[in-house]
Structure 1
């Protein structure tokens, strides 16, 4: 039975979510503040985290950032604020999905199940390839530039791996969302743009003559290398 960590400081909401998730055959751990959320995350190794933004002691954004330092565990953010900026902030920090309050508990369970169905890696049997100074190990899923490990958010790494597996092929935002975020993803396609921006920043010292993450205006993105 998969464990879901619910980090929510409003007891009534936590109880309702817990009841619906247990009905869907999940084991549930509940944290009432950010410190407890991090402790339970380390202790229980959950399959997914439902994370409220407005937590006491350590807020949800900081909890998200700390988890992302060591783990690609899926995270769904909960917030009473539904502004687009909040949603993009969560996606930019590595959240997998976003639910504004108030919400229907059944929809949260549906989102949890949808996120857990998404593919966790995108490899086709390749082991390692070099693109000039850039080295990508598809089996270990890590990237090195000029011999130094490049640290990336899990979703950014997944996007880079997918593009690098198909060099010089152009993919639309919709195709990248389907292949990397999963067919069940219901968020904005701006998530692709934000991820591409972070990848370019991470690879800023990769010489342009060796390769590039290119934007084809009106079409999409491609991992370009010199043939």
Structure 2
């Protein structure tokens, strides 16, 4: 059973969505605004955050930034608008996925379960990858530089691991969506682009001039061979 933190300022929407997610087997903590959500994240063990965008006080974007600064917990943004600017802004703040409101509980349940599957440790007999001065260990689900761990969200880890497993090969955005997010729909390539951008800030010595994760024009991305 997963523990969800639902950050939603509309009490009616929060009550209905929490009830629906509980009926699907989740434990749900409801926070009425971003500040309460941050407080709950500090005090409770949370598996996935469901975060509304439009809220009083600090909005969902700023709340996501602050959550990401203190935790690698997966974040699903709930946006009332399908405006590409809002979607990209949420992803750039550290969200792993987004769902347009009104959120259909079974769709949201599928997204949450997909994220939780990505966070499940891999079998121990897996190949450890070296990326420059970094070591990617799929068995432990850790990226390390020397004795220090480089924090990655489950989604960031799996995108990097997928590229590492196919090192030297260009993977399309569609391939990464299917292999990492695993949806039964076409998906949104902006999810991939946002995660790659975040990975470069953690993996590349100079993110603006990447040497490890390369863009293959018209195709997608490739992790360069050693």
Shift of 1:131: 4.1
Gaps of 5+ in 2: none
Could you tell me which residue of structure 2 aligns to residue 45 of structure 1? 45
Q: What pairs up with 1:83-94 in 2 under 5 angstroms? A: 83-94=83-94
Is 1:120 equivalent to 2:118 in the alignment? yes
Could you tell me which residue of structure 1 aligns to residue 190 of structure 2? 190
Distance 2:132 2:37 in 1: 42
- Secondary structure of the residue aligned to 1:95 is coil
Is 1:55 equivalent to 2:52 in the alignment? no
Could you tell me which residue of structure 2 aligns to residue 111 of structure 1? 108
Gaps of 5+ in 1: none
Distance 1:89 1:12 in 2: 26
For these two proteins, the number of residue pairs brought into alignment is 219
Q: Would you say the 8 A contact 2:204–2:212 is kept in 1?
A: no
Residues 30 and 144 (structure 1 numbering): CA distance in 2 closer, same or farther, change over 3 Å?
closer
Could you tell me which residue of structure 1 aligns to residue 141 of structure 2? 141
Shift of 1:175: 0.9
Decide which moves more: 4-13 or 153-162: 153-162
Could you tell me which residue of structure 1 aligns to residue 171 of structure 2? 171
Q: Would you say the 8 A contact 2:174–2:186 is kept in 1?
A: no
Q: Would you say the 8 A contact 2:72–2:152 is kept in 1?
A: no
| TM-superposition CA deviations, 1:109-168 (whole Å, max 9, x none) | 422333313432485633633344343333333334587654545423321122112211
Could you tell me the TM-score, scaled by structure 1's length?
0.79
Distance 2:38 2:185 in 1: 26
| TM-superposition CA deviations, 1:79-108 (whole Å, max 9, x none) | 33331111111122222332334x1x5x13
Residues 135 and 108 (structure 1 numbering): CA distance in 2 closer, same or farther, change over 3 Å?
same
Could you tell me which residue of structure 1 aligns to residue 25 of structure 2? 25
Distance 2:7 2:186 in 1: 22
Shift of 1:31: 1.0
- Secondary structure of the residue aligned to 2:9 is coil
Could you tell me the TM-score, scaled by structure 2's length?
0.80
Distance 2:149 2:18 in 1: 39
Indicate the RMSD between aligned Cα atoms, in angstroms.
Answer: 2.9
Distance 2:132 2:13 in 1: 52
